[in-house]
Structure 1
Amino acid sequence: MAKANKKDDNVVARNRKANHDFFIEDTIECGLVLKGTEIKSVRAGHINLKDGFARIERGEVWLYNVHISPFKEGNIFNHDPLRPRKLLLKRREINKLEKNVQQAGHTLVPLKVYIKHGVAKVLIGIARGKKQHDKRQAIKEKTMKREAQRAMKI
Structure 2
Amino acid sequence: MFYVDHFQSPIGTIYLVAENGTLSNVFLTEDSFQDWETKVENTQAETPLTVEVKKQLDAYFNQKRKSFDLPITYKGTAFQMNVWKALRTIPFGETWSYLDVAKAIGNEKAVRAIGQANRRNPLPIIVPCHRVIGKNQRLVGYAGNHVDKKAYLLELEGAAYKL
Interval containing the TM-score (normalised by the shorter chain): under 0.3
Report the structure, 1 or 2, having the larger helix content: 2
Report the structure, 1 or 2, having the larger strand content: 1
Greater C-alpha Rg = 1
Q: Larger RCO: Structure 1 or Structure 2 (Cα < 8 Å, ≥ 6 residues apart)?
A: 1
Give the alignment's TM-score, normalised by structure 1: 0.28
